[in-house]
Amino acid sequence: MNPFNIGNYLVPVPVVQGGMGVGISLSGMAAAVANEGGIGVISSAGLGLLYRKSGFDFVEASIQGLKEEIQKAREKTLGVIGVNVMVAMSNFADMVKTSIAEKADIIFSGAGLPLDLPSYLGKDSTTRLVPIVSSARAAKIICEKWKSGYDYLPDAIVVEGPKAGGHLGFKSNQIDDENYSLEHLIPEVVSTVKVFEDLYGVKIPVIAAGGIYTGSDIRAIISLGASAVQMGTRFVTTTECDASDAFKQAFINAKAEDVEIIKSPVGMPGRAIHNSFLEKVKLGYKQPIRCPFKCIRTCDVTSSPYCIVSALISALKGNFANGFAFAGTNAYLTKKIISVKETFADILREYQEEEAK
């Protein structure tokens, strides 16, 4: 596998670990991935709950939590560390500002178009900016907006297809439509980005995401023009993953038919592992009493069957009676918990075996 660059950051192995919230990818997982030559990514979602104390303030606890996670990652690695900040988060600006102030190497931002992301950079900022999109049209809009408004182009672009875990940037009827498949999207985005590369003499790597699990998958998608891949699900069942062992075991126990599309309270479809909690939601048994955090702008407690952040925190801790796990379409392939180092070795072996065919 060939290395690639995001700005002045050389990434020896073209693998970005997806940012997974709430609390699934924190400093432990991110540092371990960075130490193997990939890009480790801390999820900023819901950190205010993980760092809550007496006199708890969600906004301040989120800022403090992100500071500490970036610092802890830095203590464990000299590799490339990113932060995932969703546009839909109510504290989006705070998380972006904190990431830049703490000198995170890269901000990955999706769940909406991060049209004003470059506005947060200062003259001395070293943080690189990478939007996450689900179409060539979105990539074009961001490139045009950033260039005209801030004289800045994305340092890379992540293209997330409909086989990803968690919230999806597609309508329900698009998820199984081949016209929206990652294999269809990558050449379109590469072609769109090339216009800006040629016009302004820059390089904007395209990173493919969603349903990529094996080294064989990586080779196939890179052959379509991607410079790298983003992988989330594959890293959940690693010893360094920041989730509980019970959370990891849910992936090991999952069968192909257990990975399903759900309707999330935030107004987007999502992919998760079926369990009794989600079954009760379908039957109409779940209903929140209040919204304690207001963490996602698009979440309406008056019509939501449950609090998404509370459900994800419960799952993180292994309490699946009150929560569930988001997962990519290939979650059922997971068989055991191994280290990040072993995972990278397996991915490289799979890639080389495919190359030798």
pLDDT digits 0-9 by tens, 67-107: 999 999 999 999 999 999 999 888 899 999 999 999 999 99
pLDDT (tens digit per residue) in 186-213: 999 999 999 999 999 999 999 999 999 9
Q: CA of 98: how far to CAs of 49, 69, 83, 321, in Å?
A: 17, 11, 10, 34
CB 25 within 8 A of CB 19: yes
pTM (predicted TM-score): 0.94
User: What is 4-242+337-356's CATH number, 3.40.50.300, 2.40.30.260, 3.30.950.10, 3.20.20.70?
Assistant: 3.20.20.70
pLDDT (tens digit per residue) in 159-174: 999 999 988 888 889 9
CB count in 10 Å sphere of residue 191: 13
In order, the DSSP letters of 290-328 are: --SS--BTT--TTT-SS-HHHHHHHHHTT-TTS---B--
pLDDT (tens digit per residue) in 286-330: 666 566 666 665 666 666 777 788 889 899 999 999 999 999 999
Cis preceding linkage at 202, omega within 30: no
Q: Where do the structural domains in the chain lie, given as residue ranges?
A: 4-242+337-356, 245-316
* Residue in 73, 22, 76 with CA at minimum distance from that of residue 51: 22
Collect all residues with Cβ–Cβ distance below 8 Å to 286 and sequence separation of at least 6: 277, 280, 305, 306
